Structure 1
Amino acid sequence: MKTSYRSTWIFLLLILVGIVVGGILGEVLGQELSFLNKGYQIGLKPPFTLDLNVMQLTFGFLIDVNVASVLGILIAILIFRKM
């Protein structure tokens, strides 16, 4: 059971690394390969602010998904399956 818990964290870490590396490669290679930058944004836009007179809470959430990030996720899943 401990192995399953550990493999879940490794899987999530690989997915996160795949998203970040894919996004960076999409930005860098987006000039030559314009299809890598095609994508959309998901989230709260503009952020939501809750004013409680004593303090203000601002909630925001935005994910920018592009083709390179999706390719990074797929490569991360393939790497995890080979482990």
Structure 2
Amino acid sequence: MKRSYGTLIVFVIIGAILGGIIGDLLTGVDALSGVMPYLVHTYPVLDMTPATLNLYVIKLTVGLSFTPNLMSILGMVIAIILFRRY
């Protein structure tokens, strides 16, 4: 099976999403209540305000924001390890 950059990007995006979801699910666990605020605190890396293009028939608004937390970064690292292993 040939590995490509596109597959790596898909792995990293899925890892980030799953890491963020797992982090949100673990916020309700009482045993982790002391450490979870640090793991799910978001850090804004890229924040582009939405830009609007009005063509009088279609109005298009595009914006981009990248605000990972430590759990999503951990998910990305695990995804890269899994990608390199398989």
Give TM-score scaled by structure 2 length.
0.73
Residue in 2 that maps onto 1:60: 63
2:17 maps to which of 6, 17, 20: 20
**Does 2:39 align with 1:36?**
yes
Work out the CA distance in 1 between the residues paired with 2:48 and 2:55.
20
Secondary structure (helix, strand or coil) at the match of 1:39 reads coil
Give 1 or 2: higher strand fraction: 1
Instruction: Give the aligned residue type for 2:78.
Output: I
Secondary structure (helix, strand or coil) at the match of 2:56 reads coil
Asked whether the equivalents of residues 29 and 36 of structure 1 are also in contact (C-alpha less than 8 Å), the reply is no
Alpha-carbon offset, residue 67 of structure 1: 0.5
Give 1 or 2: higher helix fraction: 1
Alpha-carbon offset, residue 25 of structure 1: 1.0
- Equivalent pairs counted in the alignment come to 78
5+ residue gaps, structure 1: none
**Residue deviations 1:30-63, cap 9 Å, x none?**
3432211122232223x11122334322111122
Instruction: Give the aligned residue type for 2:10.
Output: L
Work out the CA distance in 2 between the residues paired with 1:30 and 1:74.
21
5+ residue gaps, structure 2: none
